[in-house]
Structure 1
Amino acid sequence: MSNEYVIGIDLGTTYSCLAYINEDGDPVVEKNFEQEDTTPSVILFNENGEIIVGSPAKDMAIMYPLERVVTAIKRQIGTDYEVDIDGDKYTPVTLSAAILRKMINDFNDNHGVEVKRAVITCPAYFGQNERDATKTAGKVAGLEEVTIINEPTAAAIAFGFGAGGGEKKRVMIYDLGGGTFDVTILDINGNAFTAVATDGERLLGGKDWDQVLIKLIKQKVCEENGIDGSELEDDDDVKQALILDSETIKKRLSSAESTKGTLTVGGKKAVYTITRAEFEAATAPLMQTTIEIIGRVLAAKNFTMKDIDDLILVGGSSRMPQVKNGISKKYPEANVRVFDPDQSIAKGAAIFSKSHNWVGADEVAAAVAAGKTIVPKEGEITVHNVLSKSFGIKAQYDDGKEMISNIIFRNKVLPIVQTKTYYPIEDGQTSIKVEIFENSASDNDEGKRIELIDGYSVGEFEMDLPVGVNRSTPITVKFVATDEGILVAHVDCMSQHAEYQLQNKLQMSDSEIKDSQGLMEKVTTGN
């Protein structure tokens, strides 16, 4: 076994990518067994009990029932989604682990090693549950140590390492992937990368452009071939074909003004034509949403586009001409650059992994809470992300209404330590229940009450109160958020103290992880 290689992985909705640092110190994307730079995030369960991942799964998908093919699992990460295949239950964690396992197996076989550490990327706006689930997927895949880094930050690291040339500058990363969308502003200063503001949309990406295109293809097939729409809706083979064809047609329209396609309906071939103009008109609302999110990120820090040195497009879907054209139309002053859209995130994760100080999360949380700084090694890349969500507790106000009282806010640079004082509801109260809520309130909302319905409960714990407390006895709640966004709550009331580290409600036990690792033996390697 060797830890010589520490890898970076972009675990994507439609495609995933693995990179490492070669002997010359350069980030290199590892080709998978199929000799591809990126691996389709497609999982197929065949009739022999094997789990097939990547291009073979994608190529064979049309020959299998829809329920035996899983795509876009990243959109389900952190949820209770589940599929039952031949009596075995698979969650977003185990399905994501299967994709990771395939890529790691290919790397290990090619280099004759067994890597145990990796940096895995995730969207900047991912909350606690999604980050924990991604980390657990890495462990199920066989990794012993996993660090999570935001995708836009990884892209910025790759840019700073290469095209950025180490200059001091402020960049905006526009990351339009297959199923997720992020906009993040970062300040780059040598080896230091500091996020300033971030925003995004969990369910927005190339898959949504594909869905619009599928509707357009159906319309064209019917109009140009005299086919009734019901024939397309009732044919599972047509549905599978459309999923594959929409991606192909979309890629063609990125380099051509129009393209033709064929679809077999009822045993007959139907030919259709789609123009780029038609596609862009149909998907204009999606593009407009990304433009609006750019505006929100700028407004969060009272910036204009003139405050941004480079607007960097990453993510495979950013290749679509309408992206650069749409941004340039709205912000003609922007210096828009397409930068290695498919590989920059994985390369940035690899660069970060090479210099990363692999310190345990508990040690980091304790150091932050104590106000101590873990000093970076010489030449080490330092990353300061912003908190992607706001966190607070449920509090009862004087009018009796229960609301969220936020303690730390999104778009604040990590690590964060913030304390707020509360009071018992009644004299002689014997205990309190601390319920922690995640929400999207901005730092401009500081002091405002947030409705419980506008938040998401992410954890709770109880603490006994000392004898003799009254409504004037202060209860201090301190939230500590580490560089990775790991949240620890400290509560003090007179002599009483309690600590609670926020954990994913769907978090797997060690025995569950071990059992899931057994399922990974079904992942084929092609060797």
Structure 2
Amino acid sequence: MAKIGINIATGSLQQEEMIVGIDLGTTNSLVAIIHPESRKPLALKEHNSSSLVPSVVHFGEHNVVTVGEEARKFLITDPANTIFSAKRLMGKSYNDIRQNADFFTYKVIDDNTESLVKVQVGDRFYSPIELSSFILKELKARAEHILKTPVTKAVITVPAYFNDAQRQATRDAGKLAGLDVLRIVNEPTAASLAYGLGLDPAQEKTIAVYDLGGGTFDISILKISNGIFEVLSTNGDTYLGGDDFDRAIVRQWMKEHGITDETIRTNKELAQALRLKAEAAKKHLSNHEVFIDSIDKFHLQITVAEFNKVTAELVNRTIECCRAAMKDAGLEVNQIDEVVMVGGSTRVPLVKKMVSAFFGREVHDELNPDEVVAMGAAVQADILSGNNKDFLLLDITPLSLGIETMGGLMDVLIPRNSKIPTRVGRQYTTQKDGQSGMRIAVYQGERDLVKDNRKLAEFNLTGIPAMPAGLPKVEVSFLINADGILVVKAKEIRSGVETSIEVKPQYGLTDEEVEKMLLDSITHAKEDIATRALVEARTEARQLIDTTLNFIEKNREFLTEQEITETMGAIEGLEKLILSGNKDQVQGAVEALNNLSRPYAERLMDQAISMAMKGKKI
């Protein structure tokens, strides 16, 4: 193990290289390490400050980006340029978040497509990956400042219910922040590791992880066997958390003082002051019987009994989620061996009491619930760094495996450092009407463009029935067996047409070559992701042009000459930008074309509906 010096002046650790654990949270994020001497997980913080960094990014004048506590101050004064809860957008299309779009005070682009969401700030367009990378960059800089050593490798946690696209987006955000993401670990798994659960390979346990944060609630049921964590079920509520407890207290005070909803809506200062006092009351009541304070002429008071009464319904909702998760896992509560508490809101005594009563056992709350996930990520990082020799680490893939998609992009199906054996599947579709075949090219490597990676195999899926573009569903699946042999299958789901290829283990790469490929991916991360974003923007623009031209051709008689002229002009401008413009210019032109065509597309849709109601067709 590398020698570590302690900087006496700051008490910080100095070590050649350290793999850190990162909890990239919706509300707050933080970094943890295993202390080299005590061998205990430790959340990094400076002196007596908090270990938590608010997951907030603010874009100021001249593109000055601030992150964390500094950025939080702008949530009220400059909401349009202050991005919060970016994690909720990870790997999502606009259609996924449509229901809750008004939750975000900044501009989330509504282009009615299945492509990933973008956030517009001024004339710049950001993906959730870029937004998350700003937070990770801040965490990296903070860790380097405290540890006085470069930090380039990390383990990052995600919710257990995150799908493949969301996990890949988290990896990309790490790469963009200059981090080699060695593992993506489920948050409940990390919390269990922090308590030492699953570190003994002989141990078999079933664990419930109850995670109540500032804005979200998750319950996960895990089974640990031979050091492998299996998620049996997850449940939760993405709009239930500590904020709702604060709101319940505010409601109680509003009732007592006759403060109306209208007053709260118009008097932002009072609304904010009440919210902050409610948060202080909630924290105070964890250790005291009564909270007393005042704002202007309002005398504010609440007892533990009153607080429990106004929040019991919220805690009950989480218990219902626990009941549903148990049912999905096919288990009775007496089959749960351990209950782990995660998230700042689990400090509320009523929460602990009701969760303990539901599971019929004491809960684990010894560790700081805000830090427990990052601590577990640090435990996993320690295992990966080879310092924890007691823990068996299964064979892993040295480099990512994926296929080539539109524009020569690498779409990763199995990220590097995945445990093997493993199986991953993802659905793709056709780009052109009546397309009957699809070329599947398999690559190995970490760069965003396939030309910079290593080609392993290629085959064609033929016999796809003629259908409009976007209708066929082709599932491509990668299976790596215990011998390291990769089997790639492609199947068109609607027709059942299928083909596959076997790729033998690639032992041709030396450790130096693997190391070089990894180093290149970090060195070129910024330009790679910029290239990927530009290629994706161009692809989206091409698809929009095809769709719009198709629409005009079919509906020319229902459009005015002006509408056609303006649209063709916008298409011509977009065509030029596809060849010479940057990502923001292309996306700006896509947005402009969308705004131009939306009114007449909606008009025709309304006409079609009213004609259909009359039994006619247009």
Normalised by the length of structure 2, the TM-score is: 0.56
In the aligned structure 2, how far is the partner of 1:481 from the partner of 1:103?
A: 35
**Are residues 309 and 145 of structure 1, via their aligned partners in 2, closer, same or farther at CA, if it must alter by over 3 Å?**
closer
Q: Does 1:290 align with 2:318?
A: yes
Deviation of 1:6 after TM superposition, in Å, equals: 0.6
- Taking structure 1 as reference, are residues 214 and 67 closer, same or farther at Cα in structure 2, changes over 3 Å only? farther
Is residue 2:232 matched to residue 1:197?
yes
Deviations 1:307-357 (A, max 9, x none): 22221112211111122211233333x232214212221111111122228
Report if the CA contact (8 A) 2:221-2:329 is conserved: no
Q: 1:350 to 1:222 in 2, by over 3 A?
A: same
Structure 2 regions of 5+ residues with no counterpart? 1-13, 94-107, 109-117, 396-418, 426-433, 440-458, 466-472, 503-525, 535-618
Partner of 2:102 in structure 1?
none
CA contact (8 A) 1:218 1:229 kept: no
Deviation at 1:290, TM superposition (A): 2.0
CA contact (8 A) 2:206 2:337 kept: yes
User: CA 1:198–1:247 in structure 2 vs 1: closer, same or farther (change >3 Å)?
Assistant: farther
Letter paired with 1:201: G
Question: 2:463 aligned to 438, 462, 465, which one?
Answer: 465
For residues 81-110 of structure 1, give each alpha carbon's deviation from its aligned partner in whole angstroms, at most 9, with x where no partner exists: 444434333343222222221111011123
Relative to structure 1, is the Cα distance of residues 99 and 87 closer, same or farther in structure 2, using a 3 angstrom cutoff? same
Cα distance change, pair 165–64 in 1 and its aligned pair in 2 (3 A)? farther
Conserved? CA contact 1:18–1:346, under 8 Å: yes
User: Which letter does structure 1 place at the counterpart of 2:157?
Assistant: T
1:110–1:357 distance in 2 versus 1, CA, 3 Å:
closer
CA contact (8 A) 2:246 2:275 kept: no
Deviation of the 1:118 alpha carbon: 0.8
What does residue range 295-444 of structure 1 map to in structure 2 within 5 Å?
Answer: 295-332=323-360, 334-340=361-367, 341-356=369-384, 379-382=390-393, 417=423, 431=436
Amino acid paired to 1:72: S
- Structure 1 residues 219 and 314: CA distance shift in structure 2, 3 A: closer
User: Equivalent residue for 2:54?
Assistant: 40
Instruction: Return the alpha-carbon distance in structure 2 between the equivalents of residues 353 and 244 of structure 1.
Output: 37
Distance 2:437 2:76 in 1: 57
Partner of 2:147: 111
Take 1:289 and 1:481, find their aligned partners in 2: how far apart are those partners? 39
Within 1, Cα distance between the matches of 2:119 and 2:80? 8
**Bigger share in strand:** 1
- Given residue 128 of structure 2, which amino acid in structure 1 is its aligned partner? P
What SS class does the counterpart of residue 29 from structure 2 fall into? Answer: strand
Aligned to 1:512: 530
After TM superposition, list the pairs within 5 Å mapping 1:213-224 onto structure 2: 213-214=246-247, 216-221=249-254, 223-224=256-257
Larger RCO (CA within 8 A; separation ≥ 6): 1
Secondary structure of residue in 1 paired with 2:243: helix
The aligned counterpart of 1:57 is 71
CA contact 1:210–1:250 (8 Å) conserved in 2: no
1:416 Cα deviation after fit: 5.3
From the superposition, tell whether residues 158 and 85 of structure 1 become closer, same or farther in structure 2 (CA, over 3 Å): same
How far apart, CA to CA, are the structure 1 residues paired with 2:461 and 2:157?
36
Matching residue within 258, 268, 281 for 1:236: 268
**1:125 partner SS:** coil
What residue is the counterpart of 1:439 in the other structure?
none
For structure 1, which runs of at least 5 residues remain unmatched after alignment?
359-376, 385-412, 420-428, 435-460, 468-474, 500-507, 517-527
Amino acid at match of 2:233: T
In the alignment, is the contact (CA less than 8 A) between 1:176 and 1:318 conserved in 2? yes
Q: Distance in 1 between matches of 2:198 and 2:50?
A: 23
SS of residue in 2 equivalent to 1:120: strand
Q: Which ranges of 4 or more aligned residues in structure 1 deviate by more than 6 Å?
A: 161-166, 475-478, 492-495, 513-516
> C-alpha separation between the residues in 2 aligned to 1:172 and 1:495?
40
**CA distance in 2: counterparts of 1:462 and 1:178, whole angstroms:** 49
| Equivalent residues of 1:217, 1:272 under 8 A apart | no
Q: Which whole-Å CA distance do the structure 1 matches of 2:380 and 2:128 have between them?
A: 26
Asked if residue 18 in structure 1 is aligned to residue 31 in structure 2, the reply is: yes
Judged with a 3 Å threshold, the aligned counterparts in structure 2 of structure 1 residues 68 and 252 are, in CA distance, closer, same or farther, namely farther
Question: Which is further off, 103-112 or 87-96?
Answer: 87-96
Q: Distance in 2 between matches of 1:338 and 1:100?
A: 27
Residue 509 (structure 1) shift: 8.7
Structure 2 match to 1:79: 92
Structure with the greater alpha carbon radius of gyration: 2
Q: One-letter code of the match for 1:119?
A: V
3-state DSSP of counterpart to 2:364 = strand
* One-letter amino acid of the counterpart of residue 236, structure 2: E
Please report the TM-score for the alignment, with normalisation by the length of structure 1.
0.65
1:313 touches 1:338 (CA, 8 Å); kept in 2?
A: yes
User: Deviation string for 1:388-413 (max 9, x for gaps)?
Assistant: xxxxxxxxxxxxxxxxxxxxxxxxx9
1:369 paired residue number: none
For 2:246, give the aligned amino acid.
Answer: L
CA contact (8 A) 2:422 2:480 kept: yes
What is the rounded CA distance, in whole Å, between the counterparts of 1:312 and 1:149 in structure 2?
16
Structure 1 residue corresponding to 2:136, chosen from 86, 94, 100: 100
> What letter matches 1:230 in structure 2?
E
Residue 254 (structure 1) aligned with residue 253 (structure 2): no
Asked if 1 retains the 8 angstrom alpha-carbon contact of 2:436 and 2:463, the reply is yes
Does structure 1 residue 90 correspond to structure 2 residue 126? yes
Query: Is the Cα–Cα contact under 8 Å of residues 155 and 182 in structure 2 kept in the other structure?
Result: yes
CA RMSD, Structure 1 to Structure 2 (Å)? 4.4
1:211 deviates by: 3.4
Give the Cα–Cα distance (whole angstroms) in 2 for the partners of residues 43 and 327 of structure 1: 34
**What SS is found at the alignment partner of 1:31?**
coil
Specify whether residues 433 and 163 from structure 1 end up closer, same or farther in structure 2 by C-alpha distance, changes over 3 A only: closer
SS at match of 1:338: coil
Structure 2 Cα separation of the partners of residues 11 and 199 of structure 1: 19
CA contact (8 A) 1:123 1:181 kept: no
**Structure 1 residue aligned with 2:190, among 154, 162, 181?**
154
Of 149, 160, 170, the match for 1:134:
170
- AA matched with 2:530: E
Query: What amino acid does structure 2 have at the position aligned with 1:314?
Result: V
Distance 1:57 1:312 in 2: 32
- 1:30-68 C-alpha deviation (Å, 9 max, x unpaired): 11588322222233344574333223333x347723334
Q: Does 1:211 align with 2:244?
A: yes
Q: 1:513 to 1:211 in 2, by over 3 A?
A: farther
**Are the counterparts in 2 of residues 233 and 239 from structure 1 also a CA contact under 8 Å?**
yes
Find out whether 1:491 has 2:490 as its counterpart.
yes
Distance 2:480 2:498 in 1: 26
Taking the aligned partners of 2:312 and 2:437, their CA distance within structure 1 comes to 50
> Structure 2 CA distance, aligned partners of 1:242 and 1:96?
30
Cα distance in structure 2, aligned partners of 1:32 and 1:285:
38
Measured against aligned partners, the alpha-carbon deviations of 1:417-460 in whole angstroms (never above 9, x if no partner) come to: 599xxxxxxxxx994799xxxxxxxxxxxxxxxxxxxxxxxxxx
